[in-house]
Homo-oligomer: A and B are copies of this chain.
């Protein structure tokens, strides 16, 4: 009884939640295997693959040569042999070496063989940010995958969702691109001990509200939630929709929300142009029931390669204060003292005060 209560309320972080999803999925299904550079090394992909090697051994946990393009091909081949590979790249950028296997092959395999063989693979991509990682280790790039029919793309923002959605992704019969933001790994939420699924393709109302709708995903949901707290000080009651899945995009809850609030701000976790926000806004404004009084708006990462130096990098990322400033614009309201009063809320180049580099 006590354990149950304890489990119900236990707080674990996002990395631990990922780890739990992997452990439980591997226990449940012998065909689940984990592969990628460093999955069995002392750091265990920021702790996310802890204990897997110890529990499941070398026949189910595979370190890999630095051969990103082939690795995806191996995973596809493994899946044709009835395995369910979960592979991981420690930075999104490394996946750019394997776009042929992901987009030309994995995404189309089931379709082009007319439904005879599906490809149940999960590709974990970790988005870097901060500590001067610079232009080649800080890209988000969700939009490169979200536009491809045949892929599913998920990007959970809490430990709770991460566990449930990774379990769903592994159980899924299709190739799933699973985005993790490095700054989310150290964020905590209540996560049940049990094996549970969060469905792919369903967004979530992270906070109910009535004055303005904020739509976001991944780490930007953290900033959006902080923004909604700040906004309370100005008597603004924001509704926050966490996309969770980027393909297929779950647009109805957004439509419902904006029909209520008449104001939409999409906070993009990637570059501002040609991103997730463009599709969300277009889905809203081309919707058959679109109410023309709705104001739509977006913020996103500055359209530049991300510089290493913190003096410039911090200018690239919108934070909760920027979000509030944008909302002040669309509400046509002045939030007095916003940036001075909430300057401690401003994002820096580390995810939290305990972080001292280098990754």
Against B, the Cβ 8 Å flags (1 = close, 0 = not) of A98-119 are: 0110011001100110000000
Contact of A293 among B99, B141, B292 (CB under 8 A): B292
Interface hub of A103, A275, A297 (most chain B Cβ within 10 A): A103
Q: Which residues of B contact A297 (CB under 8 A)?
A: 286
Q: Report whether A111 and B146 are in contact in the complex, using a CB–CB cutoff of 8 Å.
A: no
Tell whether, in the assembled complex, residue A249 and residue B278 are in contact, meaning their CB atoms are under 8 Å apart: no
* Cβ contacts under 8 Å, A273 to chain B: 146-147, 247, 249, 279
A93 near B97: Cβ-Cβ < 8 Å: no
Question: In chain B, what residue has the closest Cβ to A68?
Answer: B100
Q: Mark A256-292, 1 if CB is under 8 A from B, else 0.
A: 0000000000000011011111110110011000001
A315 CB contacts on chain B under 8 angstroms: none
Nearest to A102 among chain B residues (CB) is B96
For A270, list chain B residues within 8 Å (CB): 147
Residue in B112, B134, B144, B298 whose CB lies within 8 Å of A286: B298
- Taking A96-B99, A249-B273 as contacts, is the C-beta distance between A112 and B305 under 8 angstroms? yes
Which residues of chain B come closer than 8 Å to A93, judged between CB atoms?
A: 100, 104
Question: In the complex, how many residues of chain A place their beta carbon closer than 8 angstroms to a beta carbon of chain B?
Answer: 48
A69 to B99, CA, bound (A): 11
Residues of B near A249 (CB, < 8 A) are 273
A193 within 8 Å of B by Cβ? no
Q: State which of B136, B277, B281 has its C-beta within 8 Å of the C-beta of A104.
A: B136
- Indicate whether A253 reaches chain B with its CB closer than 8 angstroms: no
Interface 1/0 per residue, A295-309 and B, CB below 8 Å: 011100001110100
Q: Which of B111, B281, B305 contacts A305 (CB 8 A)?
A: B111
Q: Are A147 and B136 in contact (CB under 8 A)?
A: no
Nearest B residue to A104 via CB reads B136
If A281-B286, A292-B292 touch, whether A271 touches B149 (CB-CB below 8 Å) is: yes
- A104: B residues at CB distance < 8 A: 93, 96, 135-136
**Known A97-B100, A103-B141; further 15 A-B contacts with Cβ < 8 A:** A93-B104, A96-B99, A96-B100, A97-B99, A99-B144, A104-B135, A111-B307, A112-B305, A147-B273, A148-B271, A149-B304, A149-B305, A274-B278, A278-B279, A282-B282
In the A-B complex, the 6 residue pairs with the smallest Cβ-Cβ separation, listed nearest first, are A147-B274, A278-B278, A96-B99, A96-B100, A108-B305, A278-B282
